[in-house]
């Protein structure tokens, strides 16, 4: 894959590193638009990433360990055909993803560049305690 404006033959140049950072930021933004539990600095707590996973059983506040299904978490609402249904912390219906819409978004279109290469930026403050 050839990425425009990326001079990989000059890996130590400022221009190359700035372009890699731009691509990594854009890739992270695209993934966060699709995946509800992608780590991000806006998460108030480290375990906020589990918000998108269906829970089984009762919450920790009721002294029963929280269990996670192997079922992947829902995508962002724009990329769901039907959301999961949770009643009193128990998943009663598994959501249905609109996989084609999600993958088309990640691939890009004539109007918007999709994910390029494999670079993503990791949030530096993800789960930072602000107590």
Nearest to 125 by CA among 51, 22, 46, 24: 46
The pLDDT of residue 79 is 94
Helix axes 99-107, 14-34, angle to 10 degrees: 170
For the four alpha carbons of 30, 36, 38 and 39, in that order, the dihedral sign comes to positive
Q: In the structure, what pLDDT confidence band is assigned to residue 131 with cuts at 50, 70 and 90?
A: low
pLDDT at 112: 86
Q: Of 69 and 11, which is predicted with more confidence?
A: 11
Q: What is the pLDDT of residue 17?
A: 86
Give the pLDDT of residue 62. Answer: 54
pLDDT average, residue stretch 101-116: 91
C-alpha 18, offset from chain centre: 23
Question: Whole-structure pTM over 0.85, yes or no?
Answer: no
């Amino acid at each position: 894959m050839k990425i425009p404006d990326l001079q990989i033959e000059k890996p130590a140049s400022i221009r190359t590193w700035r372009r890699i950072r731009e691509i990594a930021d854009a890739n992270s933004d695209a993934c966060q638009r699709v995946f509800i539990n992608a780590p991000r600095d806006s998460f108030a707590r480290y375990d906020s990433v589990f918000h998108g996973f269906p829970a089984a059983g009762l919450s920790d506040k009721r002294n029963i360990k929280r269990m996670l299904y192997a079922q992947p978490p829902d995508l962002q609402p724009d990329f769901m055909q039907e959301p999961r249904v949770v009643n009193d912390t128990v998943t009663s219906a598994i959501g249905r993803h609109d996989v084609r819409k999600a993958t088309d978004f990640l691939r890009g279109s004539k109007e918007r560049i999709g994910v390029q290469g494999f670079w993503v930026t990791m949030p530096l403050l993800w789960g930072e305690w602000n107590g």
